[in-house]
Amino acid sequence: MSTTESILEHKEQLLSSKSGDSFTIPFYLQGWRICEISMGYKKGKVKPLEGGRAHSYKAKKLKEELKKTYWFAARNDATIKAWASGRKRRPKNWEEKYR
């Protein structure tokens, strides 16, 4: 499974994460790493499964980063599917499919 597919599988947690959520996804933390992400009320923690130390974020900042990660993966997936069908770029309404 590719990084993009595994990120898109966690759409609900990435776009509307809540206090008490905990999940494992690829996350850009000094390079792409598989990380365990746990959300709290005021802070969230990103802990790489291999190599590196855990990082704490304010909850609001971590939610923004998770949304950016999801939309990055969605944009890449739409582009790859467009290229596979012979198009040079994404269709104009590509975001509707990923909402």
Q: What is the pLDDT of residues 29-43, one digit of tens each?
A: 888 999 999 999 999
Q: What is the pLDDT of residues 4-36, one digit of tens each?
A: 899 999 999 999 999 999 999 999 988 899 999
How many Å apart are CA 70 and CA 44, to the nearest integer? 17
Which contacts of 74-78 are long-range, i.e. CB under 8 A and separated by 24 or more positions?
Answer: 74/8, 74/98, 76/4, 77/4, 77/5, 77/8
Q: What is the pLDDT of residues 90-99, one digit of tens each?
A: 999 999 999 8
pLDDT at position 29, please? 87
How many Å apart are CA 42 and CA 2, to the nearest integer? 32
pLDDT at position 93, please? 92
| Mean pLDDT value of segment 75-88 | 94
Nearest one of 68, 32, 71, 67 to 50, comparing CA atoms: 32
